[in-house]
Structure 1
Amino acid sequence: MGWASMAQRMLGVSIRTFSEPTAAIDPDGAVYWLTDGVAPGVALAQAVFDTAHVSVDPETGAPVSSNNPILGVRLIDLPNEPTNRDRVQARGVLYKINDVQADGVAGVTLFLRKG
């Protein structure tokens, strides 16, 4: 098993553990992917949503918080490569994709804005 497949499997375990509920369990709490912003979207089976984001300043090591929510997903779980035209609905709120940061192997963190 190569590095990429091991990273894919490990990321899958992490996302399944912390994922939002699926649409079958909680349709209102599930995460939906709206390609080009078109509703109703596709329910994502595995996605980790966080309403606020905290990162660490690499120069000072101090925590820097942001009010921007984030969504963590595996690229293979998305119906298309993320663009700023796509939208995400999480916990009943619609978000625009503000920034896309790939981890270089299997996952992506989407920085979101309401709207």
Structure 2
Amino acid sequence: MGWASMAQRMLGVSIRTFSEPSAAIDPDGAVYWLTDGVSPGVALAQAVFDSAHVAVDPETGAPVSSSNPVLGVRLIDLPNKPTSRDRVRARGELYSINDVQPDGVAGVTIILRKA
């Protein structure tokens, strides 16, 4: 078994472990891939979504750090190569793709922003 094959299998185990619920279990909580932004999209069986957070200074109320929401997936689980025209619906919110960061082997981290 080669390196790429082992990486693919290990990434699959990680994503299955931390994945959002499937559309069959929770249609509203599932992650949907909208190719070219077209609804209703394809439910992704395995995708890890991490929502944005903003830390606020308790003294001033000003934001001191933030991060964009991200989606972690295996490339083979996507219906197409990610483009800026695609959209993601996760936990009932619609997101556009801000950046795509391949891991060089089997997966991709997609940086999102609210659409």
**So what's the TM-score if we normalise by structure 2?**
0.88
Distance 1:16 1:82 in 2: 20
Code of the residue aligned with 1:100 in structure 2: it is: V
Q: Give the structure 2 partner of residue 82 of structure 1.
A: 82
Q: Where does structure 1 differ by over 2 angstroms across 4 or more consecutive aligned residues?
A: 64-67
**What stretches of structure 1 of length at least 5 have no aligned partner?**
54-63
Contact 1:36 1:87 in 2 (8 A): yes
Distance 2:47 2:35 in 1: 16
> How far apart are residue 66 of structure 1 and its match?
2.9
> How far apart are residue 65 of structure 1 and its match?
4.9
**What stretches of structure 2 of length at least 5 have no aligned partner?**
54-63
Q: Give the structure 1 partner of residue 26 of structure 2.
A: 26
Q: What RMSD in Å do the two structures reach over aligned CA positions?
A: 1.3
**So what's the TM-score if we normalise by structure 1?**
0.88
Rg larger for: 2
Aligned residues: 105
CA deviations 1:69-90 (Å, max 9, x no partner) are: 0000000000000000000000
Q: Give the structure 2 partner of residue 17 of structure 1.
A: 17
